[in-house]
Chains A and B, each alone.
Chain A
Amino acid sequence: MSLDKSVKSQSPWQIGFERLKKNRLAMIGFTLLCIVVTISVFAPLLTSYDRDAIDTLNSYQKPSAEHWLGTDELGRDTFTRLLYGGRISLSVGLVSTSIAVLIGVILGTTGGYHGGHIDNIIMRIVDIFMCFPFFLIAIVVAAILGPSIWNVMIISGILGWTGIARIVRAEVLSLKEREFIEAARALGLNSRDIIIKHIIPNIMAPIIVYATLGIARGILSEAGLSFLGLGVKPPTPSWGNMLAAAQSMRSLRLHWWLWIPPGCLVFFMILSINFLGDGLRDALDPKLKQ
Chain B
Amino acid sequence: MYKYIIRRLLLMIPVLVGVSIIIFSLIHLAPGDPYSAMIDPNTPTEEIENMLQNIGYYDPLPVKYTKWASRALTGDLGYSIRYQEPVVDIITRRIGNTLLLSVLSLTLSVVIAVPLGVISATKQYSKFDYIATIFAFIGMSLPAFFFALLMIKFLAFDLKLFPISGMQTIGSGYTGIRLLWDVVHHMMLPVIVLSFLQMASFMRYSRSSVLEVIKQDYIRTARAKGLSEKLVVYRHALRNALIPVITLLSSSLGFILSGAILTETVFSWPGMGTLIYQSILNRDYPLVIASTMLLSICVLLANLLADILYAVADPRIKYN
The interface of chain A, by Cβ under 8 A from chain B, is: 25, 124-125, 127-128, 130-137, 139-141, 143-144, 216, 220, 223-224, 227-228, 243, 246, 249, 252-253, 256, 259-260, 263, 266-267, 270-271, 274-275, 278, 289-290
Tell me whether chain A's interface is mostly helix, strand or loop, or mixed: helix
Q: Which of B29, B142, B205 contacts A267 (CB 8 A)?
A: B142
Which segment of B146-154, B233-241, B306-314 sits at the interface?
B146-154
Contact B141 A135 (CB under 8 A): no
- Min CB–CB distance B305 → chain A (angstroms): 13
Contact A274 B143 (CB under 8 A): no
Contact B153 A144 (CB under 8 A): no
Contact A270 B141 (CB under 8 A): yes
The 6 A-B pairs with the shortest beta carbon distances in the complex, nearest first, are A133-B258, A271-B141, A263-B146, A270-B141, A128-B18, A144-B30
Task: Name 8 extra pairs, CB < 8 A, besides A228-B262, A289-B208.
Answer: A124-B18, A125-B18, A128-B19, A216-B141, A249-B164, A253-B153, A274-B141, A278-B137
Known contacts A124-B18, A140-B27, A267-B142; decide if A274 and B137 are in contact (CB<8 Å). Answer: yes
Contact B157 A136 (CB under 8 A): no
**Which range holds the interface residue count of chain B?**
35 or more
Known contacts A131-B296, A133-B295; decide if A141 and B145 are in contact (CB<8 Å). Answer: no
The distance in angstroms between the C-alpha atoms of A140 and B282, with both chains bound, is 11
Q: Chain A residues near B255: list those with CB within 8 A.
A: 133
Q: Chain A residues near B300: list those with CB within 8 A.
A: 131
Contact B141 A267 (CB under 8 A): yes
B23 in the interface, Cβ–Cβ < 8 Å?
yes
B138 in the interface, Cβ–Cβ < 8 Å?
yes
How many A-B pairs have beta carbons closer than 8 Å: the answer is 111
Q: Chain B residues near A124: list those with CB within 8 A.
A: 14-15, 18
B261 in the interface, Cβ–Cβ < 8 Å?
yes
- Min CB–CB distance A182 → chain B (angstroms): 29
Q: Chain A residues near B168: list those with CB within 8 A.
A: none
B317 in the interface, Cβ–Cβ < 8 Å?
no
The distance in angstroms between the C-alpha atoms of A141 and B30, with both chains bound, is 9
- Min CB–CB distance A19 → chain B (angstroms): 16
Q: Chain B residues near A135: list those with CB within 8 A.
A: 258-259, 261-262
B288 in the interface, Cβ–Cβ < 8 Å?
yes
B122 in the interface, Cβ–Cβ < 8 Å?
no
The distance in angstroms between the C-alpha atoms of A260 and B150, with both chains bound, is 8
Contact A270 B143 (CB under 8 A): yes
Of the A-B pairs whose beta carbons lie under 8 Å apart in the complex, a sample of 15, sorted by A's number, is A25-B137, A128-B18, A128-B19, A131-B15, A132-B19, A133-B254, A136-B261, A137-B292, A144-B29, A228-B277, A252-B157, A253-B153, A259-B149, A270-B143, A271-B137
Q: Which of B163-207 contact A (CB under 8 A)?
A: 164, 204-205
| Chain B window 200-233, contacts with chain A (Cβ cutoff 8 Å), 1 for yes, 0 for no | 0000110010000000000000000000000000
